[in-house]
Amino acid sequence: MNINASSTGEEIAPMALAIHNLVNGLPLTMRTLKNPGVRIEDGEILDYNYTGPLLEKVLGSGEITHEIPQTGIYKGTPVVTVPVVEEGDVIAAIGVVDVTQGIYSDIMEITKRPEELNESRGGL
């Protein structure tokens, strides 16, 4: 599979579905820099021409975001969005919608090993 900045929703769908399954079926969105992408819920691709405000923000900034969108399909629900970077260039963005209203993210923080917590807190 070769994903690049021009890949279409159909081309990125297999990777997006794999990530969707990896995060235990949380809703997932993904698009590339030059083309809209996919929106997946409950193991099904609902849209092959999807974009959202946080995907677009991350494509522009190249920074991970943990935000609650104020517009779009997932308005009011926490979303973690990450860039996909190749050779220093952002080529895509992936968003995981935390329909647990933050519990999923909290569990990830709570279950960190003590040494990981110390590192993430600056060695406190």
Per-residue pLDDT tens over the stretch 6-35 = 999 999 999 999 999 999 899 999 999 999
Query: What average pLDDT does this structure show over 67-96?
Result: 94
Q: Which residue has the higher pLDDT, 121 or 36?
A: 36
The pLDDT confidence band at residue 107, using thresholds 50, 70 and 90, is low
Q: Are 94 and 81 in contact (CB under 8 A)?
A: yes
CA pair distance 20, 52, nearest whole angstrom: 17
| Closest CA relative to residue 74, chosen from 105, 99, 49 | 99
In this structure, is the dihedral angle defined by the CA atoms of residues 34, 38, 53 and 91, taken in order, positive or negative? negative
DSSP string, 78-124: -EEEEEEEETTEEEEEEEEE-TTTTHHHHHHHHTS-HHHHHHHTT--
What are the domain boundaries of the chain?
9-99
Q: For the chain, what percent of residues have pLDDT higher than 90?
A: 71
Q: Is 9-99 in CATH node 3.30.450.40? A: yes
Residues 92-104 have a mean pLDDT of: 81
Q: Kindly tell me if the per-residue pLDDT of 94 is higher than 60.
A: yes
Residue 82, token pair as written in the block: 């990450």
Contact 59, 46 (CB under 8 A): no
Q: Which residue has the higher pLDDT, 117 or 92?
A: 92
